[in-house]
Amino acid sequence: MDFQLTEEHLAVRNAARNFAQTDLLPGVIDRDTHQKFPSEQIKKMAELGFMGMMVDPKYNGGGMDTISYVLAMEEISKVDASASVCMSVNNSLVCWGLERFGSEEQKERYLKPLAQYGIGAFCLSEPEAGSDATSQRTTAEDKGDFYILNGTKNWITNGNSANVYIVIAQTDASKRHKGINAFILERGMPGFVVGKKEDKMGIRGSDTHSLMFTDVKIPKANRIGEEGFGFNFAMSTLNGGRIGIASQALGIAAGAYELALKYSKERKAFGKNLSDHQAIQFKLAEMATKIDAARLLVHQAAWLKDQKKDFVKAAAMAKLYASQIAQEVTTEAVQIHGGYGYVKEYHVERMMRDAKITQIYEGTTEIQKMVISRELLR
């Protein structure tokens, strides 16, 4: 067993840390307040290779392993969880899914630009189908050489900033999940409209929209995999996505902890630093222990995926635990900051709001427990 990161891993982590501190930190409060998508910053992330990290270099990717990816995700999420969810969706849900299951033609046309520049969106959730993902209401009618898509998707990350959208839809409801397909849509296809932007509690710099489809004509060549493979495609893709969101939750927690640690050494109360009070020391000890435990789960899941071993349970456990401790650690970070922690000028206030979504998207806490218990009982 080896807990040592390689030189390459350390270099990726340093590059992500430097980028986050230099390019993301300065405007993060303003982007959160005004719900501004970090367009310039995402462009720079793409130049640095963070948008297609695990994609084979022959498709313009970085050819890196999942450990490198989670290290970069943690550093970027420490500073700006809105930027990191854009990165996570593009890497884990869109690029990975296309590389693993797409046709050669789809990889040439869509994966190459997505791995180099971004930005893709993954469209599964609907107004009436969130956790119960088989209950897709969006329909894709088979017309021979093409499909006709109708329906609405909700809470879509990168909804207005993506160029390419992977959309899940029902072709034959009588076949339940075996009647579901996944399609590649391009922005601007006739009948495809980007709907309302969500006014969210957290990750407010991230671009979350509903999408509407009215008689959108999709060539058959844009279906991913065989007829009826769409649900299995979505589930397989989400397994890896959950490692990305687990590393995001870990990063939010670690970022809040680092700020709380620093603040506790600077702020004085009752004649000594906060960090000299046992009440604060014990909080810091608990926060650091939870973060280390979450990091071990995240790295275990990433390692299993890199070893091509079954990582479904490990990914769900990592997401379940990291998202839970992100809640706890950010709440304690606010508590250590006292009144300052409750105002927007201090980053921990945003981090506490950002942490909540990690228990909801890419499978709620309850869904992770379903996945884990099914794997245990199988």
Instruction: Choose the stretch contacting ligand CAA; rule: CB under 6 A; options: 74-82, 110-118, 233-241, 251-259.
Output: 233-241
- φ, ψ (nearest 5 deg) of residue 207: -105, 95
Active site residue 362: yes
Cβ neighbours of 360 (radius 10 Å): 15
Q: Is 312 near ligand CAA (CB under 6 A)?
A: yes
Instruction: Choose the stretch contacting ligand CAA; rule: CB under 6 A; options: 3-11, 16-24, 73-81, 228-236.
Output: 228-236
- Residue closer to ligand CAA, measured from CB, 208 or 264: 208
Q: Which among 286, 308, 371 has a CA at the least distance from the CA of 100?
A: 308
- Residue closer to ligand CAA, measured from CB, 52 or 363: 363
Q: In one letter, which amino acid is 189?
A: M
Burial 107-134 (b: 16+ CB within 10 A, else e): bebbbbbbbbbbbbbbbbbbeebbeebe
x-marked contacts with ligand CAA along 334-363 as a string, rule CB under 6 A: ---------------------------xxx
Cis peptide before 367 (omega within 30 of 0): no
x-marked contacts with ligand CAA along 21-50 as a string, rule CB under 6 A: ------------------------------
Q: Is 370 near ligand CAA (CB under 6 A)?
A: yes
Of positions 314, 336, 371, 372, contacts ligand CAA by CB under 6 A: 371
Minimum CB separation of residue 310 from ligand CAA in Å reads: 10
Q: Is 320 near ligand CAA (CB under 6 A)?
A: no
> How many helices (H) does the chain have, and how many strands (E)?
13, 9
Answer yes or no: are the C-beta atoms of 126 and 151 closer than 8 Å.
Answer: yes
Cβ neighbours of 377 (radius 10 Å): 6
Tell me how far apart the alpha carbons of residues 25 and 38 are, in angstroms, rounded to a whole number: 11
Summarize as ranges the residues that interact with ligand CAA (CB under 6 A).
89, 122, 124-125, 131, 133-134, 157, 177, 231-232, 235-236, 238-239, 312, 361-363, 367, 370-371
- The catalytic site residues sit at 362
